[in-house]
């Protein structure tokens, strides 16, 4: 294992981002995972051992843990079991996602039995990581978009949700522009149609605040 890195600050993550506790002992994998997470808009705290993740997780200031399974000493499975035991006594549940380079039969089952919520195979792929973390976006009334609710409506199809979001980012500005033009012109039928179109699109993403503005 490498020397213990200084944990990154936690603070506030980007809007819609997660505060991720990353437990990984390999320097190359550390750099890759941190870069991918930060590019996806998440805030990362890095530790390099099972004991370190136990101590850092006790602070309760992370939304999710990415846990390397094969760390030396206290491995990811043992660390997860101890975190779950602590939660059973104190309450709470932080999602823990396993990361492992092994592809042996039964690995996923062992991770879930230890109390992990999900499983990622190494090398970690950016799109797979994005889709996985999208499942764990927190429900929050102050967020503009309800990603978790949107994902549930699509039966967990994260790739489809990302495609829809990309389409909206491409077409949405035009819809808002058409609404503004109609309002400026006092064209009630046209503005009504524009609002109807916007509401239909925004509803796909659970955009409560934007929907309220469109009422």
Map out the domains of the chain as residue ranges: 19-134, 147-214
Q: Is 41 left (phi over 0), alpha (psi -120 to 50) or beta?
A: left
Q: What does the pLDDT read at residue 102?
A: 67
Q: What does the pLDDT read at residue 49?
A: 95
Strand 64-68 with 19-23, pairing: parallel
Per-residue pLDDT of 16-72, as tens digits, reads 589 999 999 999 999 999 999 998 889 999 999 999 999 999 998 899 999 999 998
Determine the Cα–Cα distance for residues 4 and 30; give it in Å rounded to an integer: 12
Residue positions counted in the chain: 215
**Which residue in this structure is represented by tokens 């699509």?**
154
2 or 89, which is more confident: 89
Comparing C-alpha atoms, which of 52, 54, 67, 70 is closest to residue 20? 67
CATH of 19-134, one of 3.30.2420.10, 3.40.190.10, 3.40.440.10, 3.40.50.2300: 3.40.50.2300
Determine the Cα–Cα distance for residues 147 and 179; give it in Å rounded to an integer: 25
Other CB atoms within 10 Å distance of the CB of residue 11: 9
- Phi/psi at 83 (nearest 5 deg)? -65, -45
Determine the Cα–Cα distance for residues 26 and 47; give it in Å rounded to an integer: 11
């Amino acid at each position: 294992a490498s020397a213990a890195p200084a944990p990154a600050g936690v603070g506030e993550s980007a809007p819609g981002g997660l505060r991720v506790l990353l437990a990984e002992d390999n320097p190359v994998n550390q750099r890759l995972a941190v870069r991918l997470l930060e590019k996806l808009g998440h805030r990362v705290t890095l530790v390099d051992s099972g004991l370190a993740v136990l101590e850092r997780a006790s602070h309760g200031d992370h939304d999710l843990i990415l846990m390397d399974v094969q760390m030396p000493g206290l491995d990811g499975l043992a660390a997860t079991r101890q975190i779950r035991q602590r939660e059973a006594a104190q309450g709470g549940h932080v999602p823990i996602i396993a990361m492992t380079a092994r592809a042996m039969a039964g690995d996923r089952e062992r991770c879930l039995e230890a109390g992990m919520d999900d499983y990622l195979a190494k090398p970690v792929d950016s799109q797979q990581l994005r889709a996985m973390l999208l499942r764990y976006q927190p429900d929050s009334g102050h967020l503009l978009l309800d990603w978790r609710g949107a994902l549930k409506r699509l039966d967990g199809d994260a790739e489809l949700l990302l495609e829809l979001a990309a389409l909206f980012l491409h077409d949405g500005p035009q819809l808002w522009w058409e609404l503004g033009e109609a309002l400026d012109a006092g064209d009630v039928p046209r503005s009504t149609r524009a609002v109807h179109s916007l509401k239909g699109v925004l509803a796909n993403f659970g955009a409560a605040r934007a929907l309220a503005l469109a009422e």
